[in-house]
Structure 1
Amino acid sequence: MNETDLVVCSYDTQVYQHKSSGLAWLASHFDVPVILRGECWLSRELLRLGVPFVINPSLTTHGALQAAQGDIYYRESLYADLLTWLTE
């Protein structure tokens, strides 16, 4: 987060209307502006914390993101049991 310039939050405001996360607090601590899809608990929290944000209802990731062709073994090894990872 220390090197982050902007957070794009594509939460579905209906699905997440009663849920919480630490995103607003992290954005506040690191002085990172946020883009949201709509008014929601997160926009209210960002207002309370004084974090700059903008609402863009057309924000969507549908069809915009592509999966990278990464090294599957490497990725899986990062999330393996630590003892297994150390002994390999």
Structure 2
Amino acid sequence: MADERGMIIGDRVEARLDKLTEDVAEIKGILSGFRMAFDQMDKRIGDLSSRMTSIESLQKWAIGLIITGILAIVGMCMTILSKLP
């Protein structure tokens, strides 16, 4: 009877271990999916960062050209006004 009871308990434990093994495998699959998603987000954030850097550089050039243009116009106006009697 003890052997029968041991077999029954062993069967239950074995079934639970099988279920636990399946659950662990499922969790590993989910975590690997998360890892892939985070890697993709990291890549996209890196791409966005490089684009922002290039946009900032373009903005600096544009502001420099605008200021240069304004100074040239003001300089020409001052030259014209200084020539008036």
TM exceeds 0.5?
Answer: no
Q: Which has the higher contact order (CA 8 A, sep 6+)?
A: 1
Normalising by structure 2, we get a TM-score of 0.16
The structure that has the greater radius of gyration is 2
Query: Which structure dedicates a bigger proportion of its chain to helix?
Result: 2
| Higher normalized strand content (fraction of residues) | 1
Scaled by the length of structure 1, what TM-score is found?
0.15
